[in-house]
Amino acid sequence: MENSYRKGEIIELTVIDPAEKDQCFGKTESGMGVMVAGMLAVGDRISARIVKVRQRYLEAVCLEVIEPSHDRVEPVCPVFGSCGGCKWMHVGYEAQLRYKRKKVADALVHIGGFENPVVQPVLAAPEPFHYRNKVEFSCSNMRYLMPEELRQEVLLKPKGFALGFHAPGNFEKVLDLDTCFLAKACMNTVLNTVRKFAVVRGLAPYAAKTHEGFLRNVMLRYSERHDQLMVNIVTSWHDRELMEALRATLEAALPGQAMSVVNNVTTRRNTVAVGEEEFIVSGEGFVTERLGSLDFRISANSFFQTNTRQAETLYDQILAVAGLGPDDTVYDLYCGTGTITLYLARHCRQSIGIEVVESAVKDAEMNARLNGIGNAVFFQADLKDFHQMQEKLTPYDAPRVIVTDPPRAGMHPKALETMLQLEPERIVYVSCNPSNLARDGKEIAARGYQLTAIQPVDMFPQTSHIETVACFERSV
């Protein structure tokens, strides 16, 4: 099709699919494909301005929703569209689940080359809001101004202090929040209590450009099953008396709440909420969460799934497709702090977790002791080095089942090759990125495995992210 469109031209189109990077895909009446930026829903009829003309498609930005989709709902958050956290809050939850299922299926077909993959309906979260057990707020000396504030002569909030989330694409400015609709109620109480305390005490917010200031981050963790809260205040230096005063203020704001207060201190010139040194102000310095019948101790900087209820659903799906027997050995690659390894251990003879991060391996071993599990073993190893793994794993049986839960980027090609050289009967691939699941799945299938199960689990309502459990079985 000859592309006769011009940059700057106003066009009308209908949105037919969500796409990556906060975009959607649509087509004009002439059939030209358009990648359009904006908070849109499938079925929206919109006007848009062309910003780039490609040979086979256009890039555009939405100007107006002419006719809204039936999937649209009114976002509950007053800063929706400015905050980068909940990109799909304008879409009804049932529609979100449809979009996510199609996203997995499309990736498997178009990237993985699988014909008619049977993707099961997405397992919905019981709570589409207030589900996160971890939230990280940032502090800045540059508050992001909302569009309506730009027209006000007198601002209701100071410009020089903000506690909330970074504005999308801006490492300096922070959107000041009163409520996060993904956080627990106690977390929002902490947010507002710390902000008031900081303003009254005149605490200097961290400036990302000059690397000056005291208060950097407020990172919160909550144990849903044990009702425990951890408040981690990240600062540029430690002030014991100030932290004690903040502790007392927080306890007054949340009477009866089981709570630990810790102070992570860092001098690094970045905005990452991880300290070089940690001071326990009160409590034990960790929370304990339960998945199934297992307890996991979570410190300030430990990794743990951010949706407790759906983590249990996810792990049950892994267990179901793994098909473990009492004499089986299972390997858990990228095991982190050992949650999946330990979840599987009671259903097989030996469960072996492999992880490159030393601190995570130590946490995994501690979690095994905490739960009295003696048939789980953890090794620190780089999955890219097959010979290193062979040497460490020689005393153990070869795995009949391998579970791999790689980071968003997917498996490193050498790690994927290492896994395939082990020749398990079954591979359970857990992915938070359908594109990379499809890419790696294509290679797994090329080595004699069939894709036999695909189960998406919605860990992150109101966002485009989706977790998927895929099972590959070796052809006989």
* Residue of 62, 83, 432, 471 marked active site: 432
Cβ atoms within 10 Å, residue 81: 17
Tokens of 78: 């007053």
DSSP for 385-423? -HHHHHHHHTTSPPPSEEEE---TT---HHHHHHHHHT-
Give the residue carrying structure tokens 């267990």: 319
Q: In this structure, are residues 163 and 177 in contact, taking their beta carbons and an 8 Å threshold? A: yes
Distance (Å, rounded) from C-alpha 398 to C-alpha 350?
10
* Distance in angstroms (rounded) separating the CA atoms of residues 310 and 22: 24
Question: Which amino acid belongs to residue 58?
Answer: L
Task: List the structure tokens of 235.
Answer: 């600062």
- Does residue 432 carry a catalytic annotation? yes
Q: Is 408 exposed, middle or buried (0-12, 13-18, 19+ CB in 10 A)?
A: exposed
Nearest-angstrom CA–CA distance, 245 and 260: 14
Backbone dihedral angles phi then psi of residue 209, each to the nearest 5 degrees? -80, -45
Collect all residues with Cβ–Cβ distance below 8 Å to 97 and sequence separation of at least 6: 121, 122, 124, 458
Q: How many CA atoms lie within 13 A of 263 on its CB side?
A: 19
Residue 332: HSE in the Cβ half-sphere, 13 Å Cα cutoff: 28
Distance separating alpha carbons of residues 164 and 191, to the nearest angstrom: 8
Both tokens assigned to 125? 């979260």
Q: Are 11 and 47 in contact (CB under 8 A)?
A: yes
SS3 20: coil
Nearest 5°: the CA angle 83, 233, 229 is: 85
Query: Which residue is listed with tokens 């449809």?
Result: 98
The letter for the amino acid at 283 is G
- The set of catalytic residues is 432
